[in-house]
Amino acid sequence: MKKRIAFCVPTMIIGGVETVLVNTVEKLLECDDLDLCLVFHTDVIEPKYKDWLKSHPEIPVYIYYPLGNWFEKQKKKFKKFPCKLLCRLCYGIYKNYRRFIMRFWGGLNNVDVFVDYKMFDFAKELRWFKARKIVWVHINVKYLLENNRAKKIKQYSTVVGLTDAFVDEFKSVFPEYADRVVRIYNPIDVDRILDLSKVNTPTVGADYFVTVSRLDGYQKDVKTLIDAFDLFYEKNDMPDVKLVIIGGGVQENYLKNYAENLKSGKNIVFTGALNNPFVYMKNAICNILSSNFEGLPTVLIEAQSLGVLNVAADCEYGPKEIFLGGKAGVLFKIADVQQLANIMTDVYNKKLPVSEMVLNATNALGRFETNTIKQQICEVLNG
Pairing verdict, β 241-246 and 268-272: parallel
What pLDDT, on a 0 to 100 scale, did the predictor assign at position 130?
86
Domain boundaries, the chain: 3-189+368-381, 190-366
Fold match between domain 3-189+368-381 and domain 190-366:
yes
Architecture of domain 190-366: 3-Layer(aba) Sandwich (3.40)
**Residue 172 confidence (pLDDT):** 93
pLDDT of residue 68: 47
User: pLDDT, tens digit, for every residue of 258-280?
Assistant: 999 999 999 999 999 888 999 99
Residue 340 pLDDT = 97
Residues in the chain where the model's pLDDT stays below 50: 66-69
Predicted local confidence at residue 84, as pLDDT: 63
pTM value? 0.80
The CA distances from residue 247 to 174, 232, 274, 309, 317, in Å, are: 36, 22, 7, 19, 22
The single-letter code of the amino acid at 316 is: E
Q: What is the pLDDT of residue 64?
A: 73
What pLDDT, on a 0 to 100 scale, did the predictor assign at position 71?
55
pLDDT at site 66: 45
Q: Return the pLDDT at 239.
A: 79
Cα→Cα distances 227→188, 258, 265, Å: 31, 10, 10
Of residues 322, 282, 289, the one with CA closest to residue 303: 282
Which class in CATH covers the domain with range 3-189+368-381? alpha beta
